[in-house]
Protein backbone atom coordinates (compact mmCIF):
# COMPACT_ATOMS: atom_id res chain seq x y z
CA UNK A 1 0.00 0.00 0.00
CA UNK A 2 1.38 3.41 -0.93
CA UNK A 3 1.98 6.15 1.61
CA UNK A 4 1.50 9.91 1.41
CA UNK A 5 5.26 10.31 1.77
CA UNK A 6 6.06 8.14 -1.21
CA UNK A 7 3.25 9.20 -3.53
CA UNK A 8 4.73 11.27 -6.32
CA UNK A 9 8.36 10.68 -5.39
CA UNK A 10 10.49 9.73 -8.38
CA UNK A 11 12.84 6.74 -8.33
CA UNK A 12 15.39 6.06 -11.05
CA UNK A 13 16.58 2.45 -11.35
CA UNK A 14 19.46 1.27 -13.52
CA UNK A 15 19.51 -2.30 -14.76
CA UNK A 16 15.72 -2.30 -14.45
CA UNK A 17 15.03 -4.81 -17.21
CA UNK A 18 15.31 -7.95 -15.08
CA UNK A 19 16.26 -9.47 -11.74
CA UNK A 20 16.62 -7.22 -8.74
CA UNK A 21 16.12 -4.05 -10.77
CA UNK A 22 12.76 -5.27 -12.02
CA UNK A 23 11.78 -6.51 -8.56
CA UNK A 24 12.73 -3.15 -7.03
CA UNK A 25 10.65 -1.37 -9.66
CA UNK A 26 7.60 -3.42 -8.79
CA UNK A 27 8.03 -2.80 -5.06
CA UNK A 28 8.55 0.93 -5.47
CA UNK A 29 5.60 1.22 -7.83
CA UNK A 30 3.40 -0.56 -5.31
CA UNK A 31 4.62 1.92 -2.69
CA UNK A 32 3.51 4.93 -4.73
CA UNK A 33 6.71 5.97 -6.48
CA UNK A 34 6.82 7.22 -10.04
CA UNK A 35 9.58 5.43 -11.91
CA UNK A 36 12.25 5.93 -14.52
CA UNK A 37 13.43 2.51 -15.67
CA UNK A 38 16.88 2.53 -17.26
CA UNK A 39 18.39 -0.41 -19.14
CA UNK A 40 20.06 -1.34 -22.38
CA UNK A 41 17.19 -3.64 -23.33
CA UNK A 42 14.55 -1.14 -24.33
CA UNK A 43 11.88 -3.71 -25.13
CA UNK A 44 11.96 -5.12 -21.60
CA UNK A 45 11.74 -1.82 -19.77
CA UNK A 46 9.05 -0.59 -22.15
CA UNK A 47 6.94 -3.65 -21.32
CA UNK A 48 7.57 -3.20 -17.60
CA UNK A 49 6.74 0.52 -17.70
CA UNK A 50 3.50 -0.21 -19.54
CA UNK A 51 2.57 -2.81 -16.95
CA UNK A 52 3.36 -0.60 -13.96
CA UNK A 53 1.67 2.50 -15.34
CA UNK A 54 1.51 5.72 -13.30
CA UNK A 55 3.60 7.51 -15.90
CA UNK A 56 6.58 5.18 -15.60
CA UNK A 57 9.31 6.06 -18.09
CA UNK A 58 11.20 3.41 -20.02
CA UNK A 59 14.59 4.78 -21.05
CA UNK A 60 17.19 2.94 -23.10
CA UNK A 61 20.49 3.78 -21.42
CA UNK A 62 23.90 2.26 -20.80
CA UNK A 63 25.74 3.19 -17.59
CA UNK A 64 29.06 2.95 -19.46
CA UNK A 65 27.90 5.65 -21.91
CA UNK A 66 27.72 8.99 -20.11
CA UNK A 67 25.89 10.68 -22.98
CA UNK A 68 23.03 8.21 -22.69
CA UNK A 69 22.83 8.81 -18.94
CA UNK A 70 22.80 12.58 -19.46
CA UNK A 71 19.95 12.17 -21.94
CA UNK A 72 18.11 9.98 -19.44
CA UNK A 73 18.55 12.56 -16.68
CA UNK A 74 17.15 15.28 -18.94
CA UNK A 75 14.06 13.18 -19.60
CA UNK A 76 13.60 12.48 -15.90
CA UNK A 77 13.88 16.18 -15.12
CA UNK A 78 11.58 17.33 -17.92
CA UNK A 79 8.94 14.59 -17.69
CA UNK A 80 8.93 13.64 -14.02
CA UNK A 81 10.34 16.73 -12.33
CA UNK A 82 13.63 15.20 -11.22
CA UNK A 83 14.88 12.20 -9.26
CA UNK A 84 14.29 11.77 -5.54
CA UNK A 85 15.84 8.30 -5.41
CA UNK A 86 18.60 6.74 -7.51
CA UNK A 87 19.08 2.98 -7.35
CA UNK A 88 22.41 1.99 -8.87
CA UNK A 89 21.58 -1.62 -9.68
CA UNK A 90 23.19 -2.31 -13.07
CA UNK A 91 25.98 -4.86 -12.78
CA UNK A 92 27.73 -7.86 -14.30
CA UNK A 93 29.43 -10.83 -12.65
CA UNK A 94 31.91 -12.34 -15.10
CA UNK A 95 33.68 -14.79 -12.83
CA UNK A 96 36.96 -16.38 -13.91
CA UNK A 97 40.54 -16.88 -12.72
CA UNK A 98 42.46 -13.63 -13.08
CA UNK A 99 44.44 -13.67 -16.34
CA UNK A 100 45.09 -11.65 -19.46
CA UNK A 101 42.64 -13.92 -21.28
CA UNK A 102 39.88 -12.28 -19.27
CA UNK A 103 41.00 -8.69 -19.90
CA UNK A 104 37.78 -7.78 -21.75
CA UNK A 105 35.63 -9.12 -18.91
CA UNK A 106 37.85 -7.42 -16.34
CA UNK A 107 37.35 -4.03 -17.94
CA UNK A 108 33.65 -4.61 -18.44
CA UNK A 109 33.08 -5.36 -14.75
CA UNK A 110 34.97 -2.27 -13.62
CA UNK A 111 33.21 -0.05 -16.16
CA UNK A 112 29.70 -1.32 -15.36
CA UNK A 113 29.80 -2.15 -11.65
CA UNK A 114 31.94 0.69 -10.35
CA UNK A 115 32.43 3.42 -12.94
CA UNK A 116 28.85 3.00 -14.15
CA UNK A 117 27.50 3.70 -10.68
CA UNK A 118 29.81 6.67 -10.31
CA UNK A 119 28.81 8.10 -13.69
CA UNK A 120 25.09 7.72 -13.06
CA UNK A 121 25.40 9.27 -9.61
CA UNK A 122 27.47 12.17 -10.91
CA UNK A 123 24.88 12.93 -13.60
CA UNK A 124 21.86 12.70 -11.27
CA UNK A 125 23.47 14.26 -8.19
CA UNK A 126 22.04 17.75 -8.62
CA UNK A 127 18.54 16.29 -8.91
CA UNK A 128 19.03 14.25 -5.76
CA UNK A 129 20.31 17.27 -3.88
CA UNK A 130 17.35 19.38 -4.98
CA UNK A 131 14.92 16.83 -3.61
CA UNK A 132 16.76 15.82 -0.45
CA UNK A 133 17.11 12.46 -2.08
CA UNK A 134 18.32 8.95 -1.48
CA UNK A 135 21.19 7.19 -3.22
CA UNK A 136 20.95 3.39 -3.05
CA UNK A 137 23.97 1.42 -4.26
CA UNK A 138 23.38 -2.27 -4.84
CA UNK A 139 26.53 -4.11 -3.87
CA UNK A 140 26.96 -7.72 -2.74
CA UNK A 141 28.36 -9.85 0.03
CA UNK A 142 31.23 -10.09 -2.47
CA UNK A 143 32.11 -6.61 -1.24
CA UNK A 144 33.04 -8.16 2.11
CA UNK A 145 34.18 -11.70 1.35
CA UNK A 146 36.40 -12.97 -1.46
CA UNK A 147 36.99 -16.31 -3.13
CA UNK A 148 39.13 -17.62 -6.01
CA UNK A 149 37.75 -16.77 -9.42
CA UNK A 150 35.94 -13.63 -8.33
CA UNK A 151 38.81 -11.24 -7.68
CA UNK A 152 37.72 -8.48 -10.07
CA UNK A 153 34.06 -8.78 -9.13
CA UNK A 154 35.16 -8.54 -5.49
CA UNK A 155 37.26 -5.50 -6.32
CA UNK A 156 34.33 -3.69 -7.92
CA UNK A 157 32.07 -4.38 -4.96
CA UNK A 158 34.76 -3.50 -2.42
CA UNK A 159 35.28 -0.27 -4.33
CA UNK A 160 31.58 0.44 -4.36
CA UNK A 161 31.49 0.09 -0.59
CA UNK A 162 34.41 2.44 0.03
CA UNK A 163 33.11 5.03 -2.41
CA UNK A 164 29.65 4.87 -0.87
CA UNK A 165 30.97 5.34 2.67
CA UNK A 166 32.93 8.42 1.66
CA UNK A 167 29.91 9.79 -0.21
CA UNK A 168 27.69 9.15 2.79
CA UNK A 169 29.84 11.47 4.87
CA UNK A 170 30.34 13.97 2.08
CA UNK A 171 26.72 14.39 0.99
CA UNK A 172 24.90 14.39 4.32
CA UNK A 173 22.46 15.85 5.20
CA UNK A 174 21.36 16.68 1.63
CA UNK A 175 21.46 13.12 0.28
CA UNK A 176 21.20 9.86 2.19
CA UNK A 177 23.58 7.19 0.90
CA UNK A 178 23.04 3.51 1.57
CA UNK A 179 24.57 0.25 0.39
CA UNK A 180 22.67 -3.01 0.10
CA UNK A 181 24.74 -6.22 0.09
CA UNK A 182 22.61 -9.26 -0.78
CA UNK A 183 23.93 -12.77 -1.12
CA UNK A 184 23.17 -15.08 -4.05
CA UNK A 185 20.01 -14.00 -5.86
CA UNK A 186 18.52 -15.92 -8.77
CA UNK A 187 18.95 -13.43 -11.62
CA UNK A 188 20.63 -13.46 -15.02
CA UNK A 189 24.09 -12.73 -13.55
CA UNK A 190 25.43 -16.24 -14.14
CA UNK A 191 24.15 -16.36 -17.73
CA UNK A 192 26.88 -14.06 -18.98
CA UNK A 193 29.93 -15.76 -17.47
CA UNK A 194 32.26 -16.71 -20.33
CA UNK A 195 34.69 -18.98 -18.47
CA UNK A 196 33.19 -22.49 -18.69
CA UNK A 197 34.44 -23.88 -15.36
CA UNK A 198 33.55 -20.71 -13.46
CA UNK A 199 30.11 -20.67 -15.06
CA UNK A 200 29.38 -24.27 -14.05
CA UNK A 201 30.54 -23.66 -10.49
CA UNK A 202 28.48 -20.48 -10.16
CA UNK A 203 25.37 -22.11 -11.59
CA UNK A 204 25.71 -25.02 -9.18
CA UNK A 205 26.14 -22.69 -6.22
CA UNK A 206 23.21 -20.51 -7.21
CA UNK A 207 21.01 -23.54 -7.73
CA UNK A 208 21.72 -24.59 -4.16
CA UNK A 209 21.54 -21.31 -2.27
CA UNK A 210 20.07 -18.47 -4.34
CA UNK A 211 16.84 -16.78 -3.33
CA UNK A 212 14.50 -15.21 -5.87
CA UNK A 213 14.82 -11.55 -6.73
CA UNK A 214 11.31 -11.00 -5.38
CA UNK A 215 12.42 -12.30 -2.01
CA UNK A 216 15.62 -10.25 -1.99
CA UNK A 217 16.04 -7.43 0.52
CA UNK A 218 16.77 -5.22 -2.47
Which residues are catalytically annotated?
153
DSSP state of 142: G
Q: Are 33 and 53 in contact (CB under 8 A)?
A: no
Q: Are 33 and 57 in contact (CB under 8 A)?
A: no
Q: Which of 139, 150, 140, 136 is nearest to 199 (CA)?
A: 150
Calculate the dihedral angle through the C-alpha atoms of 203, 208, 214, 218, rounding to the nearest 10 degrees.
Answer: -80
Helix (H, G, I), strand (E, B) or coil at 198: helix
Amino acid sequence: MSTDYNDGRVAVITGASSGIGEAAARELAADGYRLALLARRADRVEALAAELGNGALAIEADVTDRDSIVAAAERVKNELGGADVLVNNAGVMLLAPFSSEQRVEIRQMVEVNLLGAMTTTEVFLDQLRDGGGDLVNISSVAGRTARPGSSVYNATKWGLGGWSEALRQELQPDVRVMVIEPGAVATELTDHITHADAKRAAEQLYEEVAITAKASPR
